[in-house]
């Protein structure tokens, strides 16, 4: 099993290496790939040192799987080149997500749709993954009509530069700015670039991606995405209107029995999901589960996950695991 990790030195790439090692993914040949400035340097994986190679050299090696986390433009250019030599690409960027010819996969939900012919597979947006993980079992039982979501997203979702900006601000150091404003002691209602309709790209990902993953366009999603000064972990306030009414006890039970979800929901003990609990974990945490008393068949909940793990690296590796387990390479 020859596995290439494209973007191995980046924030998500490093977590991907950690997840591959933790989950003992079966690798016989590891191929770390990074930008031109990193080629020739060494990187440690599973207690062994490897030399970083460039993209063309990695294509020439014809890996079985290429896990991409190197940005949309890199994926658009290079994923097809890997696919042409028979490599199955799992891409973590936004490049292929809404391409109608590519699958958008959260393994717990729709991995069964994958076939050997799928040579480029898209990994959803980090905020989308944790959202659909919680919505999927509820949608199956009660059928969603409308979802209103507000996100509280960590600076790690922007990247190293943003994490450094927050660290500098905490330390009182003037440095390079990832955002147009300070992020410390602040909240920016501005994740990604603004589109013509007044929504940001991040907000439109949350509107469109769940419909594709669930293969259902009968429900709608309206999103507001906000960046907050946390170092890791995304939180979401979610309001869901269903066609069928529900019992809160049944909702909690259904979520508790869903693989990959942990319910933390006890107001008597101040138990609810927070980014500090989700840090370095692969589960999606759900709490503050309560009825919206302003209209019928509507639920409020709070969803938290580590955006670098289940929101990115872990979901990517889980897709690769499914491909291996089902002989789809």
* Contact of 96 with 119, CB cutoff 8 Å: no
* Contact of 32 with 43, CB cutoff 8 Å: yes
Gyration radius of the chain's alpha carbons: 20
Report all structural domains of the chain as residue ranges with CATH numbers, in order of start. 2-123+312-325 (3.40.50.720), 127-307 (3.30.360.10)
With H, G, I as helix, E, B as strand and everything else as coil, classify residue 219: coil
Please state the length of the chain.
Answer: 329
Q: What is the pLDDT at residue 259? A: 97
CA dihedral 243, 248, 250, 253 (to 10 degrees): 130
What's the sign of the alpha-carbon dihedral 151, 209, 81, 313? positive
* Contact of 89 with 7, CB cutoff 8 Å: no
Helix, strand and coil in the chain, % to nearest 5: 35, 25, 40
Q: What is the pLDDT at residue 218? A: 98
Q: How many CB atoms lie within 10 A of CB 304?
A: 27
H/E run at residue 165: helix 160-171
Pair of tokens at residue 193: 């670039």
Residue 114 to residue 105: CA distance in whole angstroms: 9
Residue 233 to residue 162: CA distance in whole angstroms: 14
Terminal alpha carbon distance of the chain? 10
Residue 165 to residue 253: CA distance in whole angstroms: 41
Per-residue confidence of the chain (329 residues) as pLDDT tens digits?
Answer: 999 999 999 999 999 999 999 999 999 999 999 999 999 999 999 999 999 999 999 999 999 999 999 999 999 999 999 999 999 999 999 999 999 999 999 999 999 999 999 999 999 999 999 999 999 999 999 999 999 999 999 999 999 999 999 999 999 999 999 999 999 999 999 999 999 999 999 999 999 999 999 999 999 999 999 999 999 999 999 999 999 999 999 999 999 999 999 999 999 999 999 999 999 999 999 999 999 999 999 999 999 999 999 999 999 999 999 999 999 99
Residue 284 to residue 70: CA distance in whole angstroms: 25
Catalytic residues: 126, 234
User: Going along 28-71, which residue ranges are E strands?
Assistant: 29-33, 42-45, 48-51, 65-68
Q: What is the pLDDT at residue 122? A: 98
Q: What is the pLDDT at residue 155? A: 98
């Amino acid at each position: 099993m020859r596995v290439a990790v494209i973007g191995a030195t980046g924030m998500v790439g490093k977590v991907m290496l950690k997840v591959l090692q933790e989950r003992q993914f079966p690798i016989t040949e590891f191929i770390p790939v990074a930008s031109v400035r990193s080629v020739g340097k060494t990187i440690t994986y599973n207690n062994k040192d490897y030399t970083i190679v460039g993209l063309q050299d990695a294509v020439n090696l014809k890996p079985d799987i290429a896990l991409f986390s190197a940005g949309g433009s890199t994926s658009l250019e290079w994923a097809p080149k890997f696919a042409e030599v028979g490599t199955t690409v799992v891409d973590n960027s936004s490049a292929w997500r809404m391409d109608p010819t590519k699958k958008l996969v959260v393994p717990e939900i729709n991995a069964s749709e994958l076939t050997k012919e799928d040579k480029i597979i898209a990994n959803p947006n980090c905020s989308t993954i944790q959202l659909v993980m919680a919505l999927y079992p509820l949608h199956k039982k009660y059928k969603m009509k409308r979802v209103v979501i507000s996100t509280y997203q960590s600076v790690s979702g922007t990247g190293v530069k943003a994490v450094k900006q927050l660290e500098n601000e905490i330390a009182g150091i003037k440095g390079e700015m990832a955002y147009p404003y300070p992020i410390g002691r602040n909240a920016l209602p501005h994740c990604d670039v603004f589109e013509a309709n007044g929504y940001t790209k991040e907000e439109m990902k949350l509107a469109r991606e769940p419909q594709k993953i669930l293969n259902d366009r009968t429900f709608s999603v309206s999103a507001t995405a906000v960046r907050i000064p946390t170092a890791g972990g995304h939180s979401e306030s979610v309001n869901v209107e269903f066609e069928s009414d529900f019992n809160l006890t049944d909702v909690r039970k259904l979520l508790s029995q869903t693989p990959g979800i942990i319910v933390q929901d006890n107001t008597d003990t101040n138990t609810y999901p927070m980014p500090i609990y989700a840090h370095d974990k692969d589960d999606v945490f759900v709490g503050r589960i309560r009825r919206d008393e302003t209209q019928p068949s509507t639920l409020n909940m709070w969803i938290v996950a580590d955006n670098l793990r289940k929101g990115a690296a872990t979901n990517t590796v889980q897709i690769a695991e499914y491909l291996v387990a089902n002989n789809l390479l």
